Amino acid sequence: PSSARKPLDTRVRVFQALPWYVRVFAHTLKVTFDGVDANVAASRSVTDLGRNHFDASSAPELLGDGEVEGLRWSPSRDRTRPSVLEAQLFVPSSVSVVRVSARFEKAFLRTEEFPPDANRGFDVAPAVVAFPPPRVIRFFRNLEGMDALESPLLDRMEGLVVGGNTQPAEVPERVYLNGLLLTLPTPDFSMPFNVITLVCTAMSLLSGGVLSALTRRPAWAGFKEQKAEQKKKLAELAKRAKA
């Protein structure tokens, strides 16, 4: 049974780039194979393994458990560069679920750093999983030159083998996972307009009172008092005339 599963054992590369405002705690990085934690601290650097180190024939005997063979972590720097995680995993055929997780915190952005649709959220690029090159043989008939359906450029990009060659291509097969939509603490962008309206209203009331006090003439108040005394005297004269 174990020998029947060996051809299905494989190695995969996981590549994830996160923006700087997603601050990942590297010490919380955890890799589990079917719920069993793997030893992440004992893994080597991915650069030591090579860019196309996908040979599963040299896999160690792990009794059905996976292993983190290589790991590279580049921490982020605020407003300068993102954080990059690259790991090489050996996945036996008996493993069905591989989970890579880590804790993180959200950074606070400045007002000018928010996009116009900040309430929608921030898009986080998906992770890229690279598998060994597929052993696919494509036969085609070459009657008069190249077939109309043949595309060597696309075949090389897809990692396909063309022309009956049984050797795998050097280009690994890449699978892009689903992206994420991250919500960050968003300020109330309508608050500046509310503040401007309130301040303008208060300034208009204050300036109106000041202008009325500055432009008021003292003679007008005396003229009103004079008119009131005249009306009072005319009323007394009218009473005496009637008497």
Q: What are the pLDDT tens digits along the chain (243 aa)? A: 344 444 578 889 999 999 999 999 988 999 999 888 888 876 666 655 555 555 544 444 444 456 888 888 899 999 999 999 999 999 888 888 999 999 999 999 988 899 888 888 999 999 999 988 765 544 444 444 555 555 666 555 555 544 444 444 566 788 899 999 999 888 888 888 888 999 999 999 999 888 887 777 666 666 777 788 888 888 888 888 876
Which sign does the torsion angle of CA 145, 148, 153, 159 carry?
negative
Residue 81 Rama label (left phi>0; alpha psi -120 to 50; beta): beta
* pLDDT for position 2: 42
Residue 13: CA count within 13 A, CB half-sphere: 22
- H or E element: which one contains 181? strand 180-182
Torsion angle, alpha carbons of 51, 57, 63, 65, to 10: 20
Identify the pLDDT of residue 85: 92
Q: Are 38 and 31 in contact (CB under 8 A)?
A: yes
Q: State residue 189's pLDDT score.
A: 81
CA distances 230 to 17, 72, 222, 240, 242, Å, are 91, 100, 12, 16, 19
Query: Phi and psi of 99, rounded to 5°?
Result: -125, 130
> DSSP assignment, residue 134?
P
pLDDT at 170: 62
Q: Output the pLDDT for position 234.
A: 86
Query: What does residue 164 show for φ and ψ, rounded to 5 degrees?
Result: 80, 10
Give the model's pLDDT for residue 1. Answer: 38
pTM: 0.61
Rg, the chain, Cα only = 39
Question: Rounded to 5 degrees, what are φ and ψ at 29?
Answer: -65, 130
